[in-house]
Amino acid sequence: MFRAFIAIQLSDDLKRQIDRLQADLRRQVSKLGASGEIGWVKSAGIHLTLKFLGETEEAQVEALGAVLREAASKGEPFTLEARGVSAFPNVRAPRVIWLGLHGESRAMDALSRLQAAVDDGAVKLGFPKESRAFAPHLTLARVRDRRPGGPLERVLAESRDRVVGGWTAGSVSLIKSDLRPSGAVYTTLVEVPLDGGV
């Protein structure tokens, strides 16, 4: 058994831009004395999650690969822009700091269809259906402190319209997540291009 999820991986260029964004946010937060309460996600491991699977058996990898091929066969590459920093559940009491994803209506429709196809396919294999509406985002950090946002709220407000960069989503992947003391280590088990799965 291992933890797994299905995601779209980012371009190396966008990861570098996110790294710069995180460094800038860390500097701003540090000046306000709130940096110890935030666990930043390594930019190398940031991805657009389509479906968190949780505990997964080795025997399910082949069937999950078929789910990806089926979902990819109905899709095509699309371009997204990473823009706007905010937080879940809100900036006044942040728990997760995230970067928004935007695109032309055609791209957003393609992303929604892909996520729905992945979710439906995984449900047929016994994984639970997503209970929340899909909200495409990239997780930048997790806030450990349970106090209200305070200074962090100001930092997030100043970055709410910040444009980070774009990339073309060209494939969908099944990724294994190995949680270690140094942070999560991700291994791509299956990657399928969004071009009819060819």
Task: Give the mean model confidence (pLDDT) for residues 171-184.
Answer: 89
Per-residue pLDDT of 121-154, as tens digits, reads 999 999 999 888 999 999 999 988 766 567 788 8
2-193 homologous superfamily: Cyclic phosphodiesterase (3.90.1140.10)
Ranked by mean pLDDT, which of 5-9, 155-159, 184-188 comes out on top? Answer: 5-9
Q: Does the structure show a pLDDT above 90 at 118?
A: yes
Task: Show Cβ contacts of residue 171 under 8 Å, excluding neighbours closer than 6 positions.
Answer: 8, 9, 72, 191, 192, 193, 194
Task: Check: CB of residue 65 under 8 Å from CB of residue 86.
Answer: no
Rounded Cα distance between 109 and 106, Å, is 5
Give me the percent of the chain exceeding a pLDDT of 70: 95
So where are the chain's domains?
2-193
Task: Check: CB of residue 184 under 8 Å from CB of residue 63.
Answer: no
| pLDDT value of position 184 | 81
pLDDT band with cut points at 50, 70 and 90 for residue 197: very low
Task: Show Cβ contacts of residue 94 under 8 Å, excluding neighbours closer than 6 positions.
Answer: 87, 88, 143, 149, 152, 153, 156
> Catalytic one among 103, 137, 173, 186?
137
Neighbour tally for 124: CB within 10 Å: 9
- The question of whether 137 is a catalytic residue gets the answer yes
The 3 state secondary structure assigned to 84-122 is: EEEEECCCCCCCEEEEEEECCHHHHHHHHHHHHHHHHHH
> Catalytic one among 5, 17, 46, 47?
47
- The question of whether 47 is a catalytic residue gets the answer yes
